[in-house]
Amino acid sequence: MAQRGKFITLEGGEGVGKTTNLAFIRQWLEARGTDLMLTREPGGTPLSEALRSLLLDNAYKGMDSTAELLMVFAARAEHLNKRILPALDAGQWVLCDRFTDASYAYQGHGRRMGRQRIAVLEKLVQGDLRPDLTLLLDVDPQTGLQRVDARAARDRFENEQLSFFQRVREGYLARAQAEPERFAVIDAAQPLAAVQKDIAAALEGLCGE
Ligand code: TMP
């Protein structure tokens, strides 16, 4: 049987540079011969991508927070069972653009939903599965939102107030502080070369295990 693959997640607020750095991480891992599956949340399967479209659609401004949380976890259940777990079991590494830490940060802190309700769904959907490494790209939300506005119209989340993103950032940092062995917090306000040097150091740590 193949050795189980590693599960890496990339997290951060809006406009922290996830797309650019995802490409860097992919290149870095593939250059070392890693068989990698790249995916994202919400999304990653046809049903989960359909749920993503609903979640990001400005037509549903003011969506009930519990409905939002359930949709995020419905997308996750489908994605985990159809793609992530089969890939890990087959020995592939999985690099996922956002995962459950985003639910704690956005729904938990951003929407003030409370940890416990999220923990119940986490247990139901994932059991004990957690990422092996979570890279958190951290930048102050004002800077992040300026980057978002430079590239496209805002989606339903991006249209939230600055205070929402400040809570999201605090939520992420609190999780990183609670689980320092799983998280690498990267200062994404640095020049790109410095950001990528820090990312590479965190990946070295995982590959050396
Ligand atoms: P992005 O992947 O393009 O950044 O957009 C996904 C959006 O979905 C982002 O604004 C964060 C949000 N989101 C949640 O609110 N909860 C979650 O659990 C996940 C995975 C994403």
157 lines ligand 1 (CB under 6 A): yes
- 178 phi and psi angles, rounded to 5 deg: -75, -25
Cα(1) to centroid(ligand 1), Å: 34
pLDDT tens-digit readout, 92-122: 999 999 999 999 999 999 999 999 999 999 9
Cα(157) to centroid(ligand 1), Å: 8
Q: For a substitution probing ligand 1, which of 60, 106, 154, 159 has the most ligand atoms within 8 Å of its CB?
A: 106
Cα(42) to centroid(ligand 1), Å: 6
Q: Quick check: 133 and 184 in contact, CB under 8 A?
A: yes
How is domain 7-207 classified at the CATH fold level?
A: Rossmann fold (3.40.50)
Using the structure block, give the residue that is written with the tokens 């996922």: 96
Residues with Cβ within 8 Å of residue 133, at least 6 apart in sequence:
6, 7, 8, 9, 182, 184, 202, 203, 205, 206
Q: Quick check: 145 and 162 in contact, CB under 8 A?
A: yes
Give the helix/strand (H/E) hosting 187. Answer: strand 183-187
11 lines ligand 1 (CB under 6 A): no
Q: For a substitution probing ligand 1, which of 98, 115, 122, 158 has the most ligand atoms within 8 Å of its CB?
A: 98
Tokens at 83, concatenated: 């793609």
Q: Quick check: 98 and 11 in contact, CB under 8 A?
A: yes
Closest of 131, 117, 12 to residue 70, by C-alpha: 117
pLDDT tens-digit readout, 120-154: 999 999 999 999 999 999 999 999 999 999 888 99
Cα(58) to centroid(ligand 1), Å: 14
Nearest CA to ligand 1 atom 7: 157
pLDDT tens-digit readout, 38-84: 999 999 999 999 999 999 999 999 999 999 999 999 999 999 999 99
Closest of 136, 137, 135, 139 to residue 189, by C-alpha: 139
Q: Quick check: 16 and 140 in contact, CB under 8 A?
A: no
Q: Quick check: 171 and 108 in contact, CB under 8 A?
A: yes
